[in-house]
Amino acid sequence: MKRALSSMFVAGSLVLAGAIPGLVQAQEAAQKPDVKAGEQLYTHGDAARGVLACIACHGAAGNSTISANPNLAAMPHEYIVKQLQDFQAKGKTPPSRTGAGGAPTIMSSIAANLTPQDMQNVALYLSHQQLDWDKAGTATHPATVPLGQHIWRAGIADRNVPACAACHSANGAGLPAEFPRLAGQHPEYILEQLKLFRSGDRKNSIMHAIADRMTDPDLAAVADYAAGLR
């Protein structure tokens, strides 16, 4: 009897062991980002779940033509996922990305209906797109270029403001997965985000402590300069 039970246990263990790789593979397949699904959601949304088409605000393939909305084309996959997550509330904890005065942004309502898989899919799709540099944001205030360039390259030593280039790179390309590309971003959008960092309404990065030590002219100059980098 003991031998029979032992044989059954061994056989069962072998069956289970053989099944585990299949379960792991199925789980990995479910979590793997899907570019085509991301494109579908980005372009058409999902009305049944209240998910608006991203293209309406962020333009074809992530190239926004609205200065208040960021260019997302070619942004790092990991960075986009994090931002989408930060627009979502975590239980009773409000989103770490809000608008002025802590008010919800339009992205709060959109992100609330996104699943983790949706975020991965859309982010991967956008990371595969190309930024249209002919239509991208650029610097428009020549008079503030010297100030913006100085802050970007050297920071503001007497106020402990580090050089922007240290994290976003000399040409504004950013560091994938950590710090976003600012070159070609709309200067109006960059300036608005710097103000939200300074006020603490956007609290999902180290930027609050930096922007808090900068004046309005500082922010405007560096936002315009960053947009013009190539």
Model confidence, pTM: 0.86
- Sign of the torsion formed by the C-alpha atoms of 198, 56, 71 and 116: positive
144 falls in which pLDDT band (50, 70, 90)? very high
Task: Report the percent of the chain where pLDDT is more than 90.
Answer: 85
| Distance of alpha carbon 130 from alpha carbon 17, whole angstroms | 44
Domain range summary for the chain, segments of one domain joined by +: 35-127, 142-227
3-state secondary structure of 95: coil
| Per-residue model confidence (pLDDT) at position 30 | 54
Per-residue confidence band for 73, with pLDDT thresholds at 50, 70 and 90: very high
So what's the pLDDT on residue 31? 82
Could you read off the pLDDT of 112-137 as tens digits, one per residue?
999 999 999 999 999 999 999 999 99
Dihedral sign computed on CA atoms, order 169, 173, 175, 181: positive
- Beta bridge partners, 175, equal 179
Domains 35-127 and 142-227 share a fold: yes
Q: Specify the residue for token string 């600012």.
A: 182
CB-based contact 30:42 (threshold 8 Å): no
Kindly report, residue by residue over 165-201, the tens digit of the pLDDT. Answer: 999 999 999 999 899 999 999 999 999 999 999 999 9
**Comparing C-alpha atoms, which of 151, 78, 82 is closest to residue 111?**
82
CATH of domain 35-127: 1.10.760.10
**Cβ atoms of residues 197 and 121 within 8 Å:** no
Instruction: Write down the CATH superfamily of domain 142-227.
Output: Cytochrome c-like domain (1.10.760.10)
Taking each continuous run of H as one helix and of E as one strand, the counts in the chain are 11, 0
Residue 111 and residue 49: Cα distance in Å, rounded?
Answer: 11
